[in-house]
Amino acid sequence: MPPYSPPDTILFDGVCNLCNGFVQFVIRHDAAGRFRFAALQSEAGRALLAAHGLAPTSLATDPDSVLLLSGGQLYSHSDAVLRIARGLGGIWQVAALARVLPRVWRDAAYRFVARHRYRWFGREESCWLPTPELKARFL
């Protein structure tokens, strides 16, 4: 029997409409159930950040809206998004080809969108709550 490998965890800004839309996109396309989720504002999200040496308050100055915890390592910016796309499989793996671009370019584009996400897509007053069927995939 292969060793247990915990699911990859996507940490996201729970009040960001773009981030919530991204999480719902991943849920729709993650047929294998590879990913689980935690809002950055949740107790579980804050605990995961602390376990990796990040303070939740640091996110106010660095607009990381999506982080990926995979294999004990935390990925941010474009690396997180591209690893998630690759993990979805199928046609979404094509997005991972963007890794051929210099990371500084990819991360600049990521940061630009992240900086403007509330203005362009809006924000909620509270975190999105999963349906009872999806609750098991959220920390």
Task: Kindly state the average pLDDT of the residues 38-56.
Answer: 82
2 belongs to a structural domain: no
Q: What is the CB-side half-sphere exposure of residue 11 using CA atoms within 13 A?
A: 26
Q: 37-62: buried (b, 16+ CB within 10 Å) or exposed (e) per residue?
A: bbbbebebbbebbeeeebeeeebeee
- pLDDT tens per residue, range 87-124: 988 888 888 788 888 989 999 998 898 888 888 988 87
Range of the domain at 92: 8-137
CA–CA distance, 57 with 41 (Å, rounded to integer): 10
The reply to whether 89 falls in a domain is yes
Residue at 94 is within a domain: yes
pLDDT in tens, 51-80: 887 766 555 445 567 899 998 888 989 999
CA distances from 108 to 13, 64, 83, 117 (A): 19, 12, 17, 14
Residue 125 CA to residue 108 CA, distance in Å, equals 28
- Is 3 inside any structural domain? no
Q: Cα separation of 7 and 106, whole Å? A: 26
Q: How many domains does the chain have?
A: 1
Using alpha carbons, select from 37, 86, 92 the residue that is nearest to residue 66: 37
Is residue 1 in some structural domain? no
What would the mean pLDDT of 34-59 be, rounded to a whole number?
A: 81
